[in-house]
Chains A and B, each alone.
Chain A
């Protein structure tokens, strides 16, 4: 990537130091995380809040610099909310719900993402990646006993042994050896771990190149995704604009087929194009470039994300095109998926086969994300004359033929359903449900009232009931029989399975025997196709593990046993 740093970002990139205390000995840790970007830091925090210790190896001495990810999805915010940093992100980030696309100067699409009272989080926020990483680092510093970020520490080699992975690390000119039970490769698109294991990403690399620039600009333009196709200021080009905090704007544009990318990215070629574009949209105020780099879309992935005791997470596992904002967001979902499974294996005696489902679920998600990302890319950067010709047809017809407008929609990221997985109930009543979130899907959010065991009430949204590392068992109805059976089912489980039982009641239980939620007007029951006795078991990552019309103690234990493997099964039988 060619890049040029210009005016400094208005952000203090704190230089951080770390000390190795190994004194020549081999240090042992449950989890070693290679890479301290969004994926690695999210994984470390998700492990720490579940009480699992890790060490993060970060080659740099500060959070990331330059134009990286800027769009954080609602699903990612839900994950960060569980990790305790959503507040900081929402305070700094700019929430947005819609976007506009223009063909030449005519608006041809105005799209909106779902946002209503059922949601407590915006569909998307824009925030610079360095803020996300900084908030993660600050949160990790509060878990100092459980996580240690080794700055300026570069993984340079590794060896897989039976029961551990030994990594060689270079820190300020000295070598250190670290042994982990597990290694998470969160070391990005040019993963050293991937190379060391002789693995390579496979898929499609697109030829079209984009210039990506961050500029400082004071303006009253709203926070929206803005796209111009063939604008008069830069005929033939596609230009994207995204507002970020601190009056920073991301501007991307595709360069022509005949242009030399190395020249196109030089400031003397970039700045006049941005100037022309800003003039076209009547932005005549002062602006300053902060960053310019070149981007080519890739749609590449590993086939498997687990290789014995090594896991691949985020860009190390898959490179998705930027269009549709699936890069950082899928990395956050990867980390969330891996964290609870690792915590259950490392700290709660679950069988190691649970970890295979990380690979199968997230490799499936990566394939889906790549498909969608490729669709977005084919429109934003047409890979052949066929796509180019048809895109012109769509754009030129869109103002009078609304039916073609969905083809312009950027297909933003969404949570991927796991249709089949060993980490889902193998025998539930899925086929008896007409609607509601399916097994392997994320929860459909809505507001509820939470009543704690002392009868105190609070307003809450469904996804806020999830707590790190805990299953959530939701049982509908006020019926004593169902309540007794569900309570017995949970009480008979080993405590390390951490299942939180909540009754979903149409009215407050009197007297209050235990915590429950009140579903006013039975909206949740309707959305979830629930009858009295219906049970949803939700995994710690917010995915529906299984749903039943009625749930007995033995069915619940068997379902969890089949996923968690032999070790827990023995504990249960003991």
Chain B
């Protein structure tokens, strides 16, 4: 994925979230995370990513 492609999908996700209220946005991100898990298809990698995402922002 190029920087431009990353930028484009990032913007698409921002726009999708912007149309939702807080609870709906949380649901979108949860569903997206589940779909991404299936695509990544690596339990070890997914555990690492969950750990990284869970660190204080």
Contact = CB atoms under 8 A, between A and B. Distances in A.
Interface of A: 375, 378, 382-387, 389-390, 392-394, 396-397, 400-401, 403-404, 406-407, 409
A518 B6 CA distance: 42
B52 A378 contact: no
A446 to B, nearest CB: 25
B13 A390 contact: yes
Nearest to A404: B6
A208 to B, nearest CB: 14
Contacts of A406: 3, 6-7
Interface string B3-46: 10011001101111111101001000000000000000000000
Contacts of A386: 13-20, 25
B57 interface: yes
**Which DSSP category, helix, strand, loop or mixed, fits chain B's interface?**
helix
A384 B7 contact: no
**Which of A386, A393, A400, A401 has the most C-beta atoms of chain B within 10 angstroms of its own C-beta?**
A386
B5 to A, nearest CB: 10
B7 A407 contact: yes
B10 A390 contact: yes
B17 A385 contact: yes
Task: Bin the interface of chain B by size.
Answer: 20 to 34
Given A385-B25, A386-B19, A392 B57 contact: yes
18 contacts: A375-B7, A384-B14, A384-B17, A384-B18, A385-B18, A386-B13, A386-B15, A386-B16, A386-B17, A386-B19, A387-B14, A387-B18, A392-B57, A393-B57, A396-B55, A396-B57, A407-B6, A407-B10
Contacts of A403: 6
A390 B3 contact: no
Contacts of A396: 55-57
A389 B19 CA distance: 13
Given A392-B57, A406-B6, 16 more contacts: A375-B7, A375-B11, A378-B11, A384-B14, A384-B17, A385-B17, A389-B17, A389-B25, A390-B14, A393-B57, A396-B57, A400-B52, A400-B55, A401-B52, A407-B6, A407-B7
**Which of B6, B18, B20 has the most C-beta atoms of chain A within 10 angstroms of its own C-beta?**
B18
**Which of B10, B15, B55 has the most C-beta atoms of chain A within 10 angstroms of its own C-beta?**
B10
A403 B52 CA distance: 14
A110 B30 CA distance: 32
Contact of A397 (B7, B16, B18, B52): B52
Contacts of A409: 3
B37 to A, nearest CB: 17
A383 B6 contact: no
A203 B55 CA distance: 39
A382 B15 CA distance: 11
Contacts of B17: 384-387, 389-390
Nearest to A383: B18
A370 to B, nearest CB: 14
A392 B17 CA distance: 14
Contacts of B11: 375, 378
Q: Which 7 pairs between the two chains have the least Cβ-Cβ distance?
A: A386-B17, A386-B18, A384-B18, A396-B57, A406-B3, A387-B14, A386-B14
Nearest to B56: A396
A394 B9 CA distance: 13
A386 B26 CA distance: 11
B6 to A, nearest CB: 6
A375 B4 CA distance: 11
Contacts of A393: 57
Nearest to B4: A406
B7 to A, nearest CB: 6
Contacts of A400: 52, 55
Contacts of B56: 396
Contacts of A397: 52-53
A382 B10 CA distance: 13
Contacts of A401: 52
A396 B53 CA distance: 9
A372 B30 CA distance: 30
A105 to B, nearest CB: 15
A395 to B, nearest CB: 8
Nearest to B17: A386
A97 B11 CA distance: 27
A385 B15 CA distance: 9
A375 B19 CA distance: 18
A471 B12 CA distance: 43
Nearest to A384: B18
**Which of A383, A384, A400 has the most C-beta atoms of chain B within 10 angstroms of its own C-beta?**
A384
Nearest to A392: B57
A378 B14 CA distance: 9
B53 to A, nearest CB: 8
B36 to A, nearest CB: 14
